[in-house]
């Protein structure tokens, strides 16, 4: 009787290759953390970009709101305050967005991570407060003017106010993201 040839045995090489399909819990946690940090960085960059855009629109609209006589923005201190804060917001959000783009692009921070997180958090809060302060200071004046006469000056003022409010919303959300990043930062 003839015997069957010996079938080759299957070599178990599980020890030599890592199981990519089912990573260990530690690797999985690290991947989740990296994804969350990447999402937070890109999200805060997006929110600062929006704040920059809305602040720039508010600044441009208010600076060009000169229509002669009483229809010049610079005759009213509330509108001058709105313009100054919009300019400050453009500088701050533009600088922060540029710093974040460089940080993502070059994969290193310009500032130390703790200092950067604190600057983001406190800077976003201060500029957001200034934006809502200037907006709320100019709203009553615009409403009073709109009751008397609705014209291109009051429409432009209302547009600048709404853009300033949208910039505030963007920076307020960015401050929340910055606060989360600051509270979850490890100090080791």
Confidence at residue 7, expressed as pLDDT on a 0 to 100 scale: 54
- The predicted pLDDT at position 150 comes to 66
For the chain, how big is the Rg over CA atoms in Å? 27
- Of 52, 82, 93, 88, the closest CA to residue 159 belongs to 82
CA distance readout (Å), 64 to 58, 67, 78, 82, 149? 10, 9, 16, 13, 19
Confidence check: pLDDT of 16 > 50: no
On the question of pLDDT at 151 being above 60, the answer is: yes
Phi-psi region of 115 (alpha: psi -120 to 50; beta: other; left: phi over 0): alpha
What number of H helices and E strands is found in the chain?
4, 0
Which residue ranges form the domains of the chain, and what is each CATH number?
26-183 (1.20.140)
Q: Report which listed range, 27-41, 65-79, 121-135, 137-151, is most confident.
A: 121-135
Average predicted confidence (pLDDT) for the chain: 83
């Amino acid at each position: 009787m003839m015997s069957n040839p010996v079938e080759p045995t299957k070599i178990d090489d599980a020890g030599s290759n890592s199981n990519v399909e089912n990573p260990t819990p530690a690797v999985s946690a690290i991947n989740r953390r990296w994804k969350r940090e990447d999402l937070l960085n890109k999200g805060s960059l997006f929110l600062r970009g929006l704040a920059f855009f809305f602040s720039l629109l508010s600044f441009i609209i208010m600076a060009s709101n000169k229509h002669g006589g009483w229809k010049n923005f610079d005759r009213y201190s509330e509108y001058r305050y709105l313009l100054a804060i919009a300019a400050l917001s453009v500088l701050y959000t533009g600088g922060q967005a540029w710093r974040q783009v460089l940080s993502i692009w070059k994969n290193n921070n310009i500032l130390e991570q703790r200092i950067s997180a604190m600057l983001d958090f406190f800077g976003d809060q201060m500029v957001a407060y200034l934006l809502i302060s200037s907006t709320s200071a100019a709203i009553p004046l615009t409403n009073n003017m709109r009751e008397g006469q609705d014209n291109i000056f009051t429409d432009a003022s209302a547009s600048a106010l709404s853009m300033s409010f949208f910039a505030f919303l963007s920076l307020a959300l960015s401050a929340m993201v910055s606060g989360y990043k600051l509270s979850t930062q490890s100090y080791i």
